[in-house]
Amino acid sequence: MTVQTSDFAFSPAAPATIEETGLSREFLVDLCLKVIYRRGLTTMTDVCKAVRLPGVVMSELFQTMRDDRLLATLGQLGGNMRSEMRYELTDKGRSWAVESLARQDYAGPCPVTLESFRRAVAAQSVKSRRISKERLEQSFGDLVLPEGLLGRLGPAVNSGRSILLYGPPGNGKSSYAHALARAMEGDILVPYAIYVDGDIILYFDPNVHRPLDDPDDIRLEDIYGSDAPDLRFIECVRPTVVTGAELTVDMLDLRYNPASRTYQAPLHMKASNGVFIVDDLGRQRETPQQLINRLIVPMEEGVDYLSLISGLSFQVPFDTLMIFSTNIAPTQLVDGAGLRRIYYKILVDRPKREEFVKIFLRQCRRYGVAPDEAALNHIINELYGNSDITYSAYHAPYLIDQTLAACDYHGEPRALKIPYLDEAWDNLYVDESV
């Protein structure tokens, strides 16, 4: 596994000494003992792979564990003089590992320091990510956009500032947010965990961070090579965190696990160097004003403040492209001070007739049904023409899907049949007079 970034010049070298890890010898010995005990490892190479530390540092730690009678040698694997030495925990070592796990049940990759995390985020900032017009057009290639909208979205993305997409429902705001996230994709390094004042914050999340390679495919040169990378970082695609009505203010704080005595990084922190999408703003249990108030300082200052249960408060970078989307009028969501903190407020309006036709034809291709000129004219001239209903992007897939479902039910070939389109149209809205 080669660890390097293709976007930015951030490729930290493996620490050459215990001091260069930024962590104490005692902490690292505890971590190694816990890993050996829990995973039953017997060779130094396997321990290096498990804790993501290079051989030169692990040699120091193994010597310390042997000197303290925590580790005993078993001999070389298979009796071959060229084979790697095997080890096992002594009774003292096992007791030490059990006590260490009781204090902090973490036996994974070695964490990086808070300062190392800050440097990594700064070196890979979303504000340094430049999205070209061509790349943005490619990301939006399967969508029909109102004229001029792409020209407004491009500068907003390149600014790295917060964006609010607002407008009537069913016209692509969520799709646009995801397309912006696709445009931002690139390679970055993220740490497995972060060390803060004796506590461990679990950062890498496989549901958020997508590794470019198998993280367990570690080569010997990555451990013993003179130019070995810092394996405490894993190369991933820039993250996209999507949340909706389930978002609460406490999800933006550290989550403490009393069983393991570790912390889970909050959502917006996991989205560092990537995109954080808050969909359906205004549908959350807490008011939009409460959510925006919680995010005002991070969005304004580029930093957030988190707290451990010990009471220690510390600063972390807030480096994420923040995208809100809502169907509710912005002035009904938050006050003027809150709206001022959202730098780009972009209306996603209903499609015009020509745009609706393009959407309809694309949806026909998506559903694998032949576009029917008579059916399209019926929709435009009769259904829309004889009602107060205005065009919406979601109408096209809605009408096609229900029409084809009716064909399937009646055992007829799948086609855009006008009687079934009329039935689908009646399902668009409820009769408010009832």
What are the tens digits of pLDDT across the range 180-189? 999 998 899 9
pLDDT at position 3 is: 46
Domains of the chain, each with CATH number or no CATH? 18-108 (1.10.10.10), 124-186+238-347 (3.40.50.300), 353-428 (1.10.8)
In this structure, what are the phi and psi dihedrals at residue 417, rounded to the nearest 5 degrees?
A: -85, 130
pLDDT at position 77 is: 65
**215-246 confidence digits (pLDDT tens):** 889 999 999 998 899 999 999 999 999 999 99
Q: What is the pTM of this model?
A: 0.90
pLDDT at position 7 is: 44
DSSP state of 261: T
Q: Is 54 exposed, middle or buried (0-12, 13-18, 19+ CB in 10 A)?
A: buried
pLDDT at position 79 is: 56
Distance CA 116, CA 111 (A): 10
Token pair, residue 422, equals: 């009329």
Reduced to 3 states, what is the DSSP secondary structure of residue 210? coil
Distance CA 408, CA 415 (A): 10
pLDDT at position 430 is: 80
- Say if CB 269 and CB 193 are below 8 A apart: no
Span between the terminal Cα atoms of the chain, in Å: 65
pLDDT at position 147 is: 87
Token pair, residue 36, equals: 């050996």
Distance CA 62, CA 176 (A): 53
Helix spans in 11-125 (H): 18-21, 25-39, 44-51, 55-67, 91-103, 114-123
Token pair, residue 52, equals: 């993501």
- Say if CB 150 and CB 197 are below 8 A apart: no
Query: 260-298 in b/e burial notation, b at 16+ Cβ within 10 A?
Result: ebbbbbbbbbbbbbbbbbbbbbbebeeebeebbbbbbeb
pLDDT at position 429 is: 85
pLDDT at position 8 is: 42
The DSSP bridge pattern shows strands 274-278 and 240-243 to be parallel
The DSSP bridge pattern shows strands 303-307 and 313-317 to be antiparallel
Q: What is the DSSP string of 141-201?
A: TTS---TTHHHHHHHHHHHT--EEEESSSSSSHHHHHHHHHHHH--EEEEESEEEETTEEE
Residues with pLDDT less than 50, the chain = 2-8
